[in-house]
């Protein structure tokens, strides 16, 4: 009986996390169009429901009603499995992310390792989608996208290794606890180069502008998912936005103190803001990074592919390696706010 009770509570936790996450993904598409519309002096979606608030449901209904066409010579099993491989890691990684103190599905000591493993699995969905489509356009898009994702995963991994060294733990809750204090106690300041490398790598890994050459419609007809339609295309679409939210949440946990208030521990402002629930601070920090995604898309032109590869291999990776050496010296000599 105890086993069934435990399974029931675990399932309840998963549902309580996944349902709001799906709603957040749906409304992120709406927020993106409204924010970019405001930046470009236009209105964005405003017809379906009050101020266009039902637009995500209209888009979902449209995609559900569309026919799913599978190319005649495609590998049907892998063609269907690929979108699931793209979105499942983005959802599974949330199992170890604490949204507030004690609010986590699985509080494991290897949480950071688990997150890195989950974010690395998403590239298999891209590779399998392009190969299973039996289309040269899709295959070319897959090669470009997978090379980009793998390249920037290295820089992102090195940046997170710096957080691991600074906190002295791979448990995400303990990493947040190591940043206890105000905004100047968080890791964004002492690990500023790694923070910038992580964020740039996160934007590139999710194939978002200005690094969206993998889906450059003017060049390679939408990239690896060119043969997908209907709900199968919708899953790829949702996977991209789910990964955006995941990367933003990890940035909030690793570099911006997770659930802590920016004024935590300060003599006067601390007590004034400590009453705000930790989940509110976590969501505000995550939303800030999501807004940066939208801001970048409305601001920067698309990079050339060779520029993207050069930035990843010749700039970001060397910066992380050098800063990890500097961080090692700081930790050994006891200089800085380390564990």
Enter the pTM of the model: 0.93
Give the separation between CA 279 and CA 296, rounded to whole angstroms: 26
Alpha-carbon gap, residue 15 to 194, rounded angstroms: 34
Give Cα separations from 315 to 59, 97, 144, 155, 203 (angstroms): 39, 29, 19, 10, 15
Q: Which residues pair with 103 in a beta bridge?
A: 100
What is the average pLDDT score of the chain?
89
Mean pLDDT of 269-298: 91
CA 204 to chain centre: 10
pLDDT tier for residue 85 given thresholds of 50, 70 and 90: very high
Confidence of residue 338 (pLDDT cuts 50, 70, 90): low
Please write the tens of the pLDDT for every residue from 194-247. Answer: 999 999 999 998 888 888 877 665 565 677 888 898 899 899 989 999 999 999
Query: Cis peptide leading into 173, omega within 30 of 0?
Result: no
Give me the pLDDT at residue 219, please.
61
Of 240, 286, 243, 297, the C-alpha closest to 115 is 243
**Does pLDDT of 305 surpass 60?**
yes
* Residue 107 pLDDT level (bands cut at 50, 70, 90): confident
Query: What DSSP character marks residue 338?
Result: -
Tokens representing 282 are: 């976590």
Predicted local distance difference test score (pLDDT) of residue 72: 86
Asked if the model's pLDDT at residue 130 lies above 80, the reply is yes
**pLDDT score recorded for residue 275:** 86
Question: What residues does each domain of the chain span?
Answer: 1-65, 71-333
pLDDT at 216: 63
> pLDDT at position 289, please?
96
What's the pLDDT band for 317 if we cut at 50, 70, 90?
A: very high
pLDDT of residue 68: 86
Cα–Cα dist 47/54, whole Å = 9
Q: What is the DSSP letter of 260?
A: -
pLDDT band per the 50, 70, 90 thresholds, residue 67:
confident
pLDDT number for residue 218: 58
The whole-number pLDDT of residue 248 equals: 96
Q: Which of 129, 313, 331 is nearest to 236 (CA)?
A: 129
- Residues 87 and 239 sit within 8 Å (Cβ to Cβ): yes
């Amino acid at each position: 009986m105890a086993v069934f009770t435990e399974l029931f509570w675990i399932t309840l936790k998963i549902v309580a996390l996944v349902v709001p996450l799906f709603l957040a993904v749906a409304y992120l598409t709406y927020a993106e169009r409204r924010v970019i519309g405001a930046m470009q002096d236009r209105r964005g979606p405003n017809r379906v429901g009050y101020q266009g608030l039902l637009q995500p449901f209209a888009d979902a209904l449209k995609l559900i009603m569309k026919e799913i066409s599978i190319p005649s010579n495609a590998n049907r099993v892998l063609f269907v499995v690929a979108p699931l491989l793209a979105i499942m890691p983005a959802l599974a990684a949330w199992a170890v992310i604490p949204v507030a103190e004690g609010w986590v599905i699985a509080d494991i000591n290897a949480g950071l390792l688990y997150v890195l493993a989950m974010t690395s699995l998403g590239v298999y969905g891209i590779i399998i989608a392009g190969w299973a489509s039996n289309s040269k356009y899709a295959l070319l898009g897959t090669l470009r996208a997978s090379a980009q994702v793998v390249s920037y995963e290295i820089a992102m991994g090195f940046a997170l290794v710096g957080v691991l060294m600074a906190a002295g733990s791979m448990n995400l809750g303990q990493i947040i606890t190591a940043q206890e204090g105000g905004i100047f106690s968080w890791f964004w300041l002492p690990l500023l180069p790694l923070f910038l490398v992580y964020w740039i790598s996160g934007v590139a890994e999710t194939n978002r502008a200005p690094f969206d050459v993998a889906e450059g419609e003017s060049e390679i007809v939408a990239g690896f998912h060119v043969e997908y339609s209907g709900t199968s295309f919708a899953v790829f679409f949702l996977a991209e936005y789910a990964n955006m939210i995941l990367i933003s949440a990890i940035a909030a946990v690793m570099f911006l103190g997770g659930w802590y208030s920016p004024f935590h521990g300060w003599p006067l402002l601390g007590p004034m803001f400590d009453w705000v629930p930790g989940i509110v601070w976590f969501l505000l920090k995550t939303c800030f990074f999501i807004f940066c995604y939208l801001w970048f898309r409305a601001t920067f032109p698309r990079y050339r592919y060779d520029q993207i590869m050069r930035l990843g291999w010749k700039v970001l990776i060397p910066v992380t390696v050098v800063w990890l050496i500097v961080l090692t010296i700081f930790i050994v000599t006891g200089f800085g706010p380390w564990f």
